[in-house]
């Protein structure tokens, strides 16, 4: 399954495996999402990670619309990532990222804020896309990717002010961090992919306040 492979990509990128299979937590139908979440279901987006409390405790769920998965299965980004499937790739990768970071953190009894989840997802989309592009294009760096992911973006309409500010803040912080990575480790004069990878893994493991503190500098 495409999501399982995308999850494996992230786990290997960060050397941060989790024992849970994302397929076991997947919801792909909006009607089913409404049944689970009621008024809290966000049916205006194709991706949502959620927590549901029941008699057995709290369960994690990952909603990615079936239409997104169908298109990704027809145009596999792990074989060839390009402009036509980049949007769907980022939609699915955001859900995979939220699931992966949440499960990795919970297994270590670490609390996670919504801003931290969004920030890590922004970094994950960029870092995984860089890894795919360079592998698929014989090491050629995707110069336009940063602009495409961090500037040529729009947010889901109807967001409340708090949510919109959180998304905008995560986008802004991630854009600055990923540009710094490019300049320090991925440009021809400073090409050090092993340092790029080490820095990504270090940042992934930082606690929320440490990440924000570093990005504010």
User: What average pLDDT is seen over the chain?
Assistant: 91
Q: Is the pLDDT of residue 148 over 70?
A: yes
28 SS3 class? coil
Domain around 79: 2-216
At 26 the pLDDT is 96
For the chain, percent of residues with pLDDT exceeding 70: 99
Report residue 48: phi and psi, to 5°: -160, 130
Neighbours of 119 (CB within 10 A): 25
**Which residues does 18 contact at the CB level (< 8 Å), separation at least 6?**
11, 100, 103, 104, 107
Question: Model's pTM, two decimal places?
Answer: 0.92
Report residue 99: phi and psi, to 5°: -60, -50
Instruction: Name the burial class of residue 140, with classes exposed (0-12), middle (13-18) and buried (19+) by CB atoms within 10 angstroms of its CB.
Output: exposed
Q: Residue 143 — pLDDT band, cuts 50, 70, 90?
A: confident
Contact 112, 121 (CB under 8 A): no
Q: Is the pLDDT of residue 11 over 90?
A: yes
Look-up of token digits 């953190």: 105
Number of domains in the chain: 1
Instruction: Name the burial class of residue 193, with classes exposed (0-12), middle (13-18) and buried (19+) by CB atoms within 10 angstroms of its CB.
Output: middle
The pLDDT tens digits for 78-115 are: 999 999 999 999 999 999 999 999 999 999 999 899 99
């Amino acid at each position: 399954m495409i999501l399982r492979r995308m999850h494996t990509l992230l786990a290997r990128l960060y050397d941060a495996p989790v024992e849970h299979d994302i397929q076991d937590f997947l919801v792909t139908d909006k009607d089913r999402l409404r049944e689970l979440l009621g008024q809290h279901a966000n049916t205006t987006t194709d991706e949502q990670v959620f927590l549901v409390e029941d008699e057995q405790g709290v369960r994690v769920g990952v909603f990615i619309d079936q239409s997104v998965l169908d298109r990704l299965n027809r145009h596999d980004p792990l074989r060839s990532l390009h402009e036509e499937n980049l949007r769907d790739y980022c939609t699915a990768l955001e859900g995979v990222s939220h699931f992966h970071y949440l499960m990795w953190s919970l297994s270590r009894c670490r609390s996670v804020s919504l801003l931290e989840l969004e920030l890590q997802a922004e970094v994950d989309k960029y870092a995984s896309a860089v890894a795919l592009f360079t592998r698929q294009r014989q090491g050629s760096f995707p110069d336009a990717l940063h602009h495409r992911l961090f500037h040529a973006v729009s947010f889901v309409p109807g967001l409340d002010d708090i949510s919109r500010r959180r998304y905008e803040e995560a986008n802004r912080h991630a854009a600055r961090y990923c540009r710094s990575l490019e300049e320090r480790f991925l440009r021809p004069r400073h090409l050090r992919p092993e340092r790029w990878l080490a820095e990504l893994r270090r940042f992934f493991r930082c606690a929320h306040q440490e990440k924000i503190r570093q990005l504010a500098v």
